[in-house]
Structure 1
Amino acid sequence: MREVGGVSGKSAVEALAGRLGRDLTAEGICLVAMGGATNVGKYLGMYGPRGRGLRVTGLCDAGEEDGFRRRLERAGLGSGLSRSDLEALGFFVCVADLEDELIRALGTAAVERVVEAEGELGSYRTMRKQPAWRASTAHDRLRRFIAAGSGRKIRYASLLVAALDLDRVPRPLDLLLDHLDSAGR
């Protein structure tokens, strides 16, 4: 059992695995979207050491790291866990969030090309003209744009992964796939 924060994280991991020629199902790996990192305790209880005893890994945003850590400790996976300890256990933290990681890895110009290819450049341009977003960076506007639209986070997660150079995969995704490789084979 491998869990990720939400559906967009699951979509990104599946897309990256596919680009790497990996069939996670054939490797015995089941990705589960938890509906957000705040649900990690529930999933650890069901599948972790005190549940079915499965090896569980995950991905979370930096803002959820402390809660993630507390729930891992409550599940019996250690105490006083550092970020390095989390990674050794197979839990990886995105600097801000997954969208931030992907935008930084691609660069804003490449992300705008993906937005354009999706036929949403006009909507993005309208949003960036709004007073609240005029002074923001292109990075922050793109992050907001992707997060704001219904279903956009899920759709853009796989689209942005598809646009990545494989030598520029964001660290948390790269480490998660490496961990899945060592755990699943």
Structure 2
Amino acid sequence: MQATTVLVEGESDRLAVEMLALRRGHDLTAERVSVVPMGGATSIVRYLQIYGPAGANHRLLGLCDEGESRGVARALGRAGLGSGPLDDLGFQVCRADLEDELIRCLGVDAVLNVIDAQGELASFRLLQRQPSQRGKPAAAQLRRFFGGRSGNKIRYAPLLVAALPPGQAPEPLTRLVEAFARES
């Protein structure tokens, strides 16, 4: 069985992918799947050298934000992994970012319940009152809440995935985790 490496932009993405895989019954160790945070999509060239055809020759899958997708596609082509739509190459794209996908999938009220369960609803309400946040949609304010404080994305990614109703997840995450079972 060939090893599979899943390249993700950051630690919050890793935690979310691993949490959804666990919820879907995957044993990543037994399936020889490793989820590797790259510290940003711009580091993909280095990781393709390590895990791609010129390196360990692992089966590669990945997750990136839409804003990074062109650079990821170029890097995959240069590494000899083909060209074409990223999902055909095993890389899934989040519209804005993973948090945006999770907020849309769960809905604002469910995300607020997760924040409340962590005792941070007052902190979120304070952010909403800031002049730069007034009048913005709640989903945009939530993205700012997750991205604005160091460690919030890492803290909340697995909590948001855990809050998903059974069988429900953002499409990019679903397609990525379903790909673990193919050709592994």
Q: What displacement does 1:181 show?
A: 1.4
Aligned length: 180
| Equivalence for 2:26 | 22
The answer to whether the 8 Å contact 2:8/2:38 transfers is yes
Compute the TM-score of the two structures, normalised by the length of structure 1: 0.94
Which of 77, 81, 84 pairs up with 1:77? 81
- What secondary structure sits across from 1:8 in the alignment? helix
| Equivalence for 1:180 | 180
| Equivalence for 1:112 | 112
Q: What displacement does 1:30 show?
A: 1.1
| Equivalence for 1:169 | 169
Distance in 2, matches of 1:127 and 1:50, equals 47
1:38-57 Cα distance to aligned partner (Å, 9 max, x none): 11111011110121211111
The RMSD of aligned alpha carbons is: 1.0
Q: What displacement does 1:183 show?
A: 3.4
1:59-98 matches, within 5 Å, as 59-79=63-83, 81-82=84-85, 86-98=86-98
- What secondary structure sits across from 1:65 in the alignment? helix
| Equivalence for 1:150 | 150
Q: What displacement does 1:164 show?
A: 0.4
Q: Answer yes or no: is 1:46 the counterpart of 2:32.
A: no
Q: Answer yes or no: is 1:7 the counterpart of 2:15.
A: no
Q: Answer yes or no: is 1:37 the counterpart of 2:41.
A: yes
Distance in 2, matches of 1:87 and 1:71, equals 14
Structure 1 stretches of at least 4 aligned residues deviating more than 2 Å after TM superposition: none
Change in 2 beyond 3 A, CA 1:63/1:88: same
1:14-71 Cα distance to aligned partner (Å, 9 max, x none): 1111111221111111111111111111101111012121111110000000111111
Higher helix share: 1
Compute the TM-score of the two structures, normalised by the length of structure 2: 0.94
The answer to whether the 8 Å contact 2:82/2:89 transfers is no
Distance in 2, matches of 1:172 and 1:24, equals 18
Distance in 2, matches of 1:37 and 1:24, equals 23
- What secondary structure sits across from 2:73 in the alignment? helix
Distance in 2, matches of 1:168 and 1:96, equals 19
> Which stretches in structure 1 are left out of the alignment for 5+ residues?
none
1:129 maps to amino acid: R
Distance in 2, matches of 1:133 and 1:53, equals 46
> Which stretches in structure 2 are left out of the alignment for 5+ residues?
none
1:123 maps to amino acid: S
More divergent stretch after superposition (159-168 vs 95-104): 159-168
More divergent stretch after superposition (124-133 vs 161-170): 161-170
